[in-house]
Structure 1
Amino acid sequence: MALSLPIDPEANALLNRDPLALLLGMVLDQQVPLEKAFTSPYVLSQRLGHVPDARELAGLTPEALTELFARPPALHRFPKAMAARAQEVCRLLVERYDGDAARLWADPVDGAELLRRIGELPGFGRQKAQIFLALLGKRLEIQPPGWREAAGGYGEAGAYRSVADVTDGESLRRVREHKQQQKAAAKATREPGPGRSAPR
């Protein structure tokens, strides 16, 4: 199996062959469309003239990396903040995994341990960590024992909840439909019902 996101084929190919590109795509996957997030590692490599490794990105000055992120078209809606976040992730990879993103998921004992490792990355809360765990399991067959349980609802077979379930334009549409339903349900629970006044 492999990733087959509905994005530029070259960008998709990079995600499949370069673990850091895949991880950076997940780092950037917030407050922008997933097509933007997972294409940006390819755009970054174009700007550098080569595919960067974690040591290179960790060693750049914050100003230099921010410039790469902010150059039009910006790699993210918040280029300075996300350049800093990407650099934090790369520095952790250098410190703990010898700069090799693939070592993050190379030898976990079980899904719970892999979830813990992912959750230790800067900017990865539980939900984001579960989504990435599901992405590794469903698309790249990184499947330590108990990975579906550790990924929660995102690990369910046949679900359309996150980027882990996107393989084409139709599945992307279904994932977005699910997210819209979630937002509507959350909004409904916040709104005062009949006979109740809104909190002052």
Structure 2
Amino acid sequence: MGFQITGDPAADKVLDDSAFALLAGMMLDQQYPMEHAFRGPAKVLDRLGTVEPEAIAAADPEEFAAMASTPPAIHRFPGSMAARLQELARIVEDTYGGDASRLWTEAADGKDLLKRVMALPGFGKQKAQIFVALLAKQLGVRPEGWEAVVGDYALEGHRSVADVVDAESLQKVRDFKKAAKAKKATTTATTTTATNAPGADGGTAPTAG
């Protein structure tokens, strides 16, 4: 069974067939619905004819950005993401000989894998943890210590794209993210209120007089 992230079998097959496409989809998963982000590589394939990092890196930046921006665009911020995608392609080409799978097949352990992913453009720690969890849960790539470096993303449940295997699980991940966002907003509002309360700076609250 291959990936079932995008809701589009053809787009999912692109992820199955290309390690770089999978990596690119994860990179695009930012401020954009995850299923649409992971359809991005299929759009590149349709328009450029390939998702090979060598070709993407060598493409004219203006032409590539225009291609990425053509409706339906690869992202809500197609210009900046096109530039980032080309940067990612150059790094994979220069560092891993154009074979994105070497990123994980040659990692010494989970800690090394996380470090390698975090070195890529567009991958902060959280996104890198999710990608390592995705590799482990859906591709069986489980270097020693992977659970420790990804934290809660290693657990069973529906926390991230690593747990998406069909339409039902996609909805559960959406619900989890929505609840987490609401909880964070409530916590932030409570903290702000407490900080702005009289006497919150450690002094004495003003009294009527």
TM range (shorter): over 0.9
Which structure 2 segments of 5+ residues have no match? 198-209
Q: Does 1:171 align with 2:152?
A: no
Following the alignment from structure 2 to structure 1, what is the Cα–Cα distance between the partners of residues 83 and 162?
Answer: 25
Aligned pairs, number: 197
SS where residue 182 of structure 1 aligns?
helix
Q: CA deviation at 1:198?
A: 4.0
- Over residues 143-188 of structure 1, what are the superposed CA-to-partner deviations in whole Å (9 max), with x where a residue is unaligned? 11111111111111x2211000001111111111111111111111
Rounded to whole Å, the distance in 2 between the matches of 1:197 and 1:141 is: 46
Query: Are 1:133 and 2:101 an aligned pair?
Result: no
> In the alignment, is the contact (CA less than 8 A) between 1:26 and 1:38 conserved in 2?
yes
Equivalent in the alignment of 1:75: 74
- Match of residue 147 from structure 1: 146
* Structure 2 partner of 1:2: 2
Please give the alpha-carbon distance, in whole angstroms, between the structure 2 residues aligned to 1:183 and 1:198: 23
Secondary structure of 1:151 counterpart: helix
C-alpha distance in 2 between matches for 1:79 and 1:131: 23
Percent identity of equivalent pairs? 44
State the one-letter code of the partner of 2:80: A
Could you list the runs of 4 or more consecutive aligned residues of structure 1 that deviate by over 6 angstroms after TM superposition?
A: none
When the two structures are superposed, what TM-score results if normalisation uses the length of structure 1?
A: 0.93
Asked if the contact 2:3–2:12 (Cα under 8 Å) also holds between the matched residues in 1, the reply is: yes
Which whole-Å CA distance do the structure 1 matches of 2:166 and 2:154 have between them? 18
TM-score (ref. length: structure 2): 0.89
Residue identity in the other structure for 2:29: D
Counterpart amino acid of residue 176 in structure 1: R
Residue equivalent to 1:99: 98
Please tell me whether Structure 1 or Structure 2 has the larger radius of gyration of its CA atoms.
2
Contact 2:93 2:99 in 1 (8 A): yes
Aligned CA RMSD, in angstroms, stands at 1.8
In the TM superposition, what is the alpha-carbon distance from 1:3 to its structure 2 partner?
A: 1.7
Q: Are positions 1:109 and 2:118 aligned together? A: no
Paired with 1:122 and 1:149, the residues of 2 have a C-alpha distance of 23
Q: CA deviation at 1:5?
A: 2.0
Corresponding residue number in structure 2 for 1:182? 180
- Report SS of the residue matched to 1:51: coil
What residue is the counterpart of 1:30 in the other structure? Answer: 30
Q: Any idea what SS the aligned residue of 2:71 has?
A: coil
Give the drift of 1:196.
4.2
Letter in 1 for 2:37: A
| DSSP 3-state at the match of 2:66 | helix
Q: What SS is found at the alignment partner of 1:164?
A: helix
1:46, distance to aligned residue in structure 2 (A)? 0.7
Q: Deviation of residue 47 (structure 1)?
A: 1.0
